[in-house]
Amino acid sequence: MIKTKAKTAQKNRDGAAGLLYSNLSVNEKGHLAIAGYDAVELAGEFGTPLYVLDENRLRENCRLYTGGMRDFFWEGCAPLYASKALAFKGIYRAVGEEGLSVDVVSPGELYTALAAGFPAERIYFHGNNKTDEDIRYAVDSGVGCFVVDNAEELKALDRCAAAKGIKQKMLLRLTPGIDHHTFEAVNTGKVDSQFGTPIETGQALRFVGEALKAGSTELLGFHCHIGSQIFDWVPFRDAAEIMLKFIAAVKEKYGYEARVLNLGGGFGVRYVESDPEVDIRDNLRRLSGYIRARCAELGLRLPAVLMEPGRSIVADACVTLYTAGGVKTIEGYRSYVTVDGGMADNPRYALYRSKYTVLSAGRMNEESGFLCSLAGRCCETGDLVQENIVLPEPRRGDIIAVLTTGAYNFSMASNYNRLGRPPIVMLTPEGPKIAVRRETFEDLCARDM
């Protein structure tokens, strides 16, 4: 497969030519092109449903964070890739080559990272309910740093590290009590949360006291995470303010000053035209200036600031391609277009009512006037990918593209209705390559006895 010449000029990195991202264009055939590759041809070669991941876009996103933190922050500050957004061996290789460390939230993600050759010392192990087995596996694997969620985990980790005769590095996960008005299910920074230990109630200060008494763990500092889809720097500023004041309070009470401050997530991404464009570098510049000034005012040394972008590394690098099946109009109500995927490969609309941009990949130059809902193939009323979209009047066999599907699509995919999960094809400098193969019927029965 060769790249086709784009018909539409690309003006800037985002929002070019009426499409969400500059790696998307319309070629001379009137087809959607992804990094110059014809989406219809990709669907023909690899089948649908199909996740198409632009490796160059992914690497550019990594460099926005690595470059921004290098240019505006100080020694020790760095981004970690939050691999729960998208985890397979190829992604760990790519982000590792771009200089990012990673965080994992399960032993499965840890195993995948290690299987990809990712250095264990650059892995941070998250999770609000690590089992004793999880902890032993991570310690045995040489994980660089645990992010400890609660007092019970602290005790279990300290016991395990003592049994191994090591001093395990760790951060304590705290909740700063910030509600930044995102969807409830992705808001993780408020006081009433299953994640972390709250500052507001005084529990976090006691938690630090327990951590400092532990004999086989080394406290590096603190972690917080205020949620997802944050488009500007202000919520991170507010989180930094609370966390820096807490660091000062800990210093006063215990004489311990944190060396590391992990502010969690990254910035939001555009799913639809109405979403704002995000200037990641400028947000990082503003945030670094604020932290530098507040540390001086509070009499603190500058901690190594970490961030954990996941969605903003992979989301806009991926497009999911489907083949349209039936077109059904319920007179007086609405029309449905069904596709050969749905909630099994993208459950986010069913879970969160997440917005997406949907295109008819083979008919990009045709007038769009058909109002419909895009439905999946699962035997479930809630199996919708998007409602109230406008397409050229669909036909059976049309290739339908859903944009910005790199985050929490493959990673949340299931075998509901005994459907095999789609493959991931990476668009590399050498051409399209299968990074994760399509599941077969045999795969579905492989564990059955």
- Please tell me which residue in 318, 378, 379, 445 is annotated as part of the active site: 379
**pLDDT at position 3:** 74
**pLDDT at position 196:** 85
Q: Which amino acid is at 167?
A: K
Mean pLDDT per 10-residue section of the chain, whose length is 449 residues: 53 54 96 98 98 98 98 98 98 98 98 98 96 98 97 97 98 86 46 78 96 97 92 95 98 98 95 95 98 98 98 98 96 96 97 96 95 97 96 97 98 97 97 98 97
**pLDDT at position 311:** 97
Domain architecture of the chain: domains with CATH: 16-54+317-445 (2.40.37.10), 56-314 (3.20.20.10)
Map the chain to HEC letters.
CCCCCECCCCCCCECHHHCCECCEEEECCCCEEECCEEHHHHHHHHCCCEEEEEHHHHHHHHHHHHHHHHHHCCCCCEEEEECCCCCCHHHHHHHHHCCCEEEECCHHHHHHHHHCCCCHHHEEECCCCCCHHHHHHHHHHCCCEEEECCHHHHHHHHHHHHHHCCCEEEEEEEECCCCCCCCHHHCCCCCCCCCCEECCCCHHHHHHHHHHHCCCEEEEEEECCCCCCCCCCHHHHHHHHHHHHHHHHHHHHHCCCCCEEECCCCCCCCCCCCCCCCCHHHHHHHHHHHHHHHHHHHCCCCCEEEECCCHHHHHHHEEEEEEEEEEEECCCCCEEEEECCCCCCCCHHHHHCCCCCEEECCCCCCCCCEEEEEECCCCCCCCEEEEEEEECCCCCCCEEEEECCCCCCHHHCCCHHHCCCCCEEEEECCEEEEEECCCCHHHHHCCCC
**pLDDT at position 180:** 54
Q: Is 318 part of the annotated catalytic residue set?
A: no
Supply 169's token pair: 């590095």
Q: How far is CA 268 from CA 27, 151, 209, 235, 283, in A?
A: 29, 32, 35, 12, 12
**pLDDT at position 195:** 73
**pLDDT at position 201:** 92
**pLDDT at position 190:** 54
